[in-house]
Amino acid sequence: MSESLQLVCPHCQAVNRVPKSKPALAAKCGKCKKELFGHPPAELTDATFQKAISRSDIPVVVDFWAPWCGPCRQMAPEYAKAAKTVEPHARLLKLNTQDYPSTASRFRITGIPVIMMFKNGELVAQEAGAMRANHIEHWVKSRL
């Protein structure tokens, strides 16, 4: 069993090794020096998506959304609130489907908002519809 966790920095996409003996919430990126946790969910792009979901040792949850979507805008603060509770056990990120339609089409997304959980780069769970923070937290924690 590894003595460290591999985590992708949500700011610069550098892959970091964080010793399991140290609190993950206090971990900082070795490249950009920013905290690996404690920020609102970072935005992914087509270019950063695959690395984010496949190079982290913790599950990654992605909120697929668009700025024109009312339910997506309503869910955004709830998603950010949930991130504070589930991190560092899971990483919550976002992908704007309007700006990055190729990643959205790769997962055959036909309606938003939808959240998807990835483990080791593989889709393991998904749920559609706007959710409150407590629902998101329960959904994530029940799949860890």
Residue for token pair 């949930």: 82
Which residue out of 9, 12, 32, 69 is catalytically annotated? 69
Which residue out of 12, 29, 32, 72 is catalytically annotated? 72
Identify whether 32 is a catalytic site residue: no
First to last CA, the chain: 18
Select from 77, 62, 66 the least CA-distant residue to 140: 62
Identify whether 29 is a catalytic site residue: no
Take residue 10 and report the two structure tokens written for it: 């949500």
Buried b vs exposed e over 41-50: b needs ≥16 C-beta within 10 Å? Answer: bbebeeebbe
Q: Contact 56/8 with Cβ under 8 angstroms?
A: yes
CB atoms within 10 A of CB 91: 24
Active site residues: 69, 72
